[in-house]
Structure 1
Amino acid sequence: MVFGSALGGTGVAHASAAEIPKGFLLTEAKARKAIPPPLDDEEWWKISDKPSSQLELDPCSTKGKPRDGRVAMRTITHETSAPSYSGEQLVLYRNATSAKAALAKLRAELKRCSRGSYRYSAKPLSVGDEAVSVTGHAYAKGKIDESSRTMWAVARRGSSLFFYSDFYDRGDSRDRILGDRALSKALAVDAKKMAKKVCDLPGVCA
């Protein structure tokens, strides 16, 4: 498919409301570069455009094909042998009502499925139209396993929903793993960038 005029301020090709242009996600340029040896045996990037994929934050381990009104989706993940993991996901819905319903459902699942050996805590985040900062921890004998911490920033802007997640993947300038507060802030910064960027897609923020 040939795209038309460039999107204002993004440097990527124009697309319809049901398309995510190549190169649009924040981590995409890095994810599409070949990893030279020997690092290619230590870290892996994956890019998927399958709209049938589950959401990056899936507290109830959803099964089956999603039927929530999504029309386009891109998921980028980064894994290392450390092990560590981070993810970026953008989901476009047919309208803002569908996107809002998807986030509401996710919030309900965070409460309903936060039990047993893995639990979630969530708090409001000032990003886009609505957002939430989430931390997940494994529990053993009633105590938090500090080595299991995963964090997410989840936000909605118009008819889009986007996710930023990290499990011991992001470090500071000295490669020291970020603490909870610094990581939460870093994920929120990424979400704020996408909240602004996604409005360059036709109809998303209209």
Structure 2
Amino acid sequence: MVSVTSPVFAAAPSGAIPRGFLLYEKVAEQKATTAAKWSINQSRDAKFTVNPCQNASLALQGRIAARTISYLSFNFQKWEQVILYSSAKAAEQALAEVRRALPVCPPFRTSQTAYKYSGTAVALGDEGLAVTGQLYQGGKATVGGERAILVRKGNALIVYSQAGESGAPDKADFAQQTRDARSMLAKICQVARCS
């Protein structure tokens, strides 16, 4: 079991995410050079990890800082992403942009299969969204799915996502992502403008 506890950080300069702030950053730094499955992206312009349209500009406008942790293996992937925007309004607009993309941007569709996204409001932060991506074959859920929790707090967006789900969507699929989101919410105001 990976420990995701982090030290308490002093208030960061406005618009900065200090190194080591993300929950999975320490394990990613330790294992990135040996396992090559973990990576850390510090680019402000990193692609939004929950991205139905595979659009590089989704939720990009108004960003002032971002950090993304990725874990990729053959049959399982997970992401942690913290993005700071220029204002709470800009973060709110970015989340609304993602919400609008969910029903209209399936990555692919054939005569027999379809990948569908949906979102449900959750009571986290100032506003939260549970996102389900699922592959369907003949109208039935099959191997291939993504489950994500997106949370806005002030001018920050927090994302915890896992892909590699092998069954029909279930509320239990969001348990780890929700725990992680709550852990980040407990400290995000050290770097975000929350009031």
Name the SS of the counterpart of 1:205 in structure 2: coil
Corresponding residue of 1:3: none
Q: How does 1:112-191 map to 2 (within 5 A)?
A: 112-114=104-106, 116=109, 117-145=114-142, 147-168=143-164, 180-191=170-181
Note the C-alpha offset of 1:142.
3.0
Q: How does 1:1-206 map to 2 (within 5 A)?
A: 10-12=7-9, 14-34=11-31, 40=35, 44-63=37-56, 67-81=60-74, 83-114=75-106, 116=109, 117-145=114-142, 147-168=143-164, 180-201=170-191, 203-206=192-195
Note the C-alpha offset of 1:101.
0.4
- The structure-2 alpha-carbon separation of the partners of 1:189 and 1:66, relative to structure 1 and needing over 3 Å to count, comes to closer
Note the C-alpha offset of 1:143.
2.7
Structure 2 distance, partners of 1:65, 1:135, is: 17
Name the SS of the counterpart of 1:111 in structure 2: coil
Structure 2 distance, partners of 1:181, 1:67, is: 29
Structure 1 distance, partners of 2:127, 2:82, is: 15
Name the SS of the counterpart of 1:71 in structure 2: strand
Note the C-alpha offset of 1:35.
6.3
**Which of structures 1 and 2 has the bigger CA Rg?**
1
Name the SS of the counterpart of 1:101 in structure 2: helix
1:75, 1:88 within 8 Å by CA — same for their partners in 2? yes
Aligned CA RMSD, in angstroms, stands at 2.5
- The structure-2 alpha-carbon separation of the partners of 1:157 and 1:25, relative to structure 1 and needing over 3 Å to count, comes to same
Name the SS of the counterpart of 2:147 in structure 1: strand
Aligned partner letter, 2:45: S
1:14, 1:21 within 8 Å by CA — same for their partners in 2? no
2:32, 2:39 within 8 Å by CA — same for their partners in 1? no
Corresponding residue of 2:3: none
Q: Which runs of 5+ in 2 are unaligned?
A: 1-5
Q: How many residues align?
A: 183
> What TM-score does the superposition give when structure 2 sets the normalisation length?
0.84
Aligned partner letter, 1:158: G
> What TM-score does the superposition give when structure 1 sets the normalisation length?
0.79
- The structure-2 alpha-carbon separation of the partners of 1:93 and 1:21, relative to structure 1 and needing over 3 Å to count, comes to same
1:52, 1:65 within 8 Å by CA — same for their partners in 2? no
Note the C-alpha offset of 1:10.
4.1
Q: Alignment identity in percent?
A: 31
Structure 2 distance, partners of 1:182, 1:164, is: 14
Note the C-alpha offset of 1:18.
1.2
Structure 2 distance, partners of 1:65, 1:132, is: 16
Q: Which runs of 5+ in 1 are unaligned?
A: 1-8, 170-176
